[in-house]
Amino acid sequence: MDGAMAVSNGVTQPELARRLGVTDAVVIGLGSMVGAGVFAVFAPAARAAGAGLLVGLVLAAVVAYCNATSSAQLAAQYPTSGGTYIYGRERLGPWWGYLAGWGFVIGKIASCAAMALTFAAYAVPPAWERPAAAAAVVALAAVNYRGVARTAGSTRILVAIVLAALATMVAASLAGGAADPTRLTSWALSESSWYGIFQSAGLLFFAFAGYARIATMGEEVRDPHRTIPRAIPLALSFATVIYTAVGVSALGVLGPGMLAGSSSPLVAAVQASGWGWAAPVIRLGATAASLGALLALVAGVSRTVLAMARHHDLPGWLAAVHPRFRVPHHADVAVAAAICGLVLTVDLRGAIGFSSFSVLLYYFVANIAAVTQPAHARRYPRGIQVLGAAGCLALVATLPFTAVLAGLAVFTTGIVYRAARLAHTNRPR
């Protein structure tokens, strides 16, 4: 299998090695979702919607489920690297695929930088945050460079640490009275605008979006026609259960006001519950979550870069596959360099809105592509994909205005780049 070849645009190219089973794929998807977002996203969601964030969580989970079924159905038909970039090209045309791939790469590079900075904020003094973040990116890129099996193994360890920390937080919150149903019902019935609830859903969706990593690594999954459709819903289901437990627990201990005002809500929850000794455990979990999400994100982004380079939407040298490790080593290095450039120069705490904009449009393309699949390739009703596409647009419409403007500017840049590249090479599309 290590010597397998793929054909792209009439050119035979080496394939990546298929080494991931269902468990590995679920772990990578779960590691991408249960990342740094779960340690921070509930505070801005509470600011947007108060206790209505629980409704926002349900909305985000519904949209994520619709998107996950589309991704699973498409990945079974097109089991290669690139995710929605490939699905858009095959089902809707090259421009649709390009816009999905461009949005994924740019948005997720920003997410990678945010994860690296989150790790550094928990792990080192402020003066060393940016160098430490860059060092983490280089170290994890080196893990990816050595092969995807090492990526899955490392992610499994990090996910175990994160889940242990979250279990400690839930236990502490329950001991502190988080399970009071009267209090939670009262808060849920308090006034929350639907705009705020949808905005909280958009923010919470940012934490759900990691299941795409399974689809973008489709060329490295064993028996992808069976493995990917099983792994994506499993990873999403586990993440939904975890987020619900954490959200209810944090609300139960802190209440909407204190939750909204906390910069580290899960640490605040264990301290308010009387389990102050557990705060270092939560900080360790946040550090591991950031590293786990960053590890899986770098792998997913580099595979999309590989696919775009194979189709000449990015420079061809990015399509190289290492002869020994069977990974896209040029793409890995380029993505790591871009992330390091951002963590050393830019404050990305406000980038979640921009990343959400890009990711939601990426999944919008996935849903539209899934709608066009023929009956023999269909695993789920078309209505689910239509609901997913509408949900993506609804959440995009509620994002902060500045995030929407930034997203439109970046997509315009991408359109100009591809148009200029096609004109230069005299290609018809």
Which range has the worst mean pLDDT, 55-59, 109-113, 135-139, 384-388?
Answer: 109-113
Nearest alpha-carbon partner for 283 in 127, 161, 128, 138: 161
Nearest alpha-carbon partner for 52 in 169, 177, 170, 184: 184
Measured between alpha carbons, how far is 296 from 32 in angstroms, rounded to an integer? Answer: 6
**Contact present, 392 and 70 (Cβ < 8 Å):** no
- The mean per-residue pLDDT over the stretch 61-66 comes to 90
Please write the tens of the pLDDT for every residue from 287-300.
888 887 787 778 77
Domain with residues 17-425, CATH architecture: Up-down Bundle (1.20)
Nearest alpha-carbon partner for 279 in 295, 255, 262: 262
Residue 250's pLDDT band, with cuts at 50, 70 and 90, is confident
- The mean per-residue pLDDT over the stretch 276-297 comes to 84
Let me know the angle formed at the C-alpha of 81 by 80 and 85, rounded to the nearest 5 degrees. Answer: 105
Measured between alpha carbons, how far is 389 from 209 in angstroms, rounded to an integer? Answer: 15
**Contact present, 213 and 151 (Cβ < 8 Å):** no
Residue 121's pLDDT band, with cuts at 50, 70 and 90, is confident
* pLDDT value at 10 more than 80: no
Say which amino acid occupies 186. S
Residue 185's pLDDT band, with cuts at 50, 70 and 90, is very low
- The mean per-residue pLDDT over the stretch 41-50 comes to 85
pLDDT computed for residue 2 by the predictor: 43
**Contact present, 91 and 369 (Cβ < 8 Å):** yes
pLDDT computed for residue 159 by the predictor: 77
* pLDDT value at 189 more than 80: no
pLDDT computed for residue 184 by the predictor: 53
Name the average pLDDT for the chain: 80
pLDDT computed for residue 181 by the predictor: 47
Say which amino acid occupies 283. R
Measured between alpha carbons, how far is 293 from 280 in angstroms, rounded to an integer? Answer: 20
Measured between alpha carbons, how far is 147 from 307 in angstroms, rounded to an integer? Answer: 17
Please write the tens of the pLDDT for every residue from 352-381.
778 888 889 999 999 999 999 998 888 889
Strand stretches in 66-199, DSSP E: none
Measured between alpha carbons, how far is 7 from 3 in angstroms, rounded to an integer? Answer: 13
Measured between alpha carbons, how far is 308 from 292 in angstroms, rounded to an integer? Answer: 25
* pLDDT value at 213 more than 70: no
User: pTM higher than 0.75 for the full model?
Assistant: yes
Residue 428's pLDDT band, with cuts at 50, 70 and 90, is low
Of the chain, the end-to-end C-alpha distance in Å amounts to: 33
Nearest alpha-carbon partner for 114 in 100, 129, 101, 99: 129
pLDDT computed for residue 144 by the predictor: 72
pLDDT computed for residue 17 by the predictor: 58
* pLDDT value at 337 more than 80: yes
- The mean per-residue pLDDT over the stretch 53-59 comes to 89
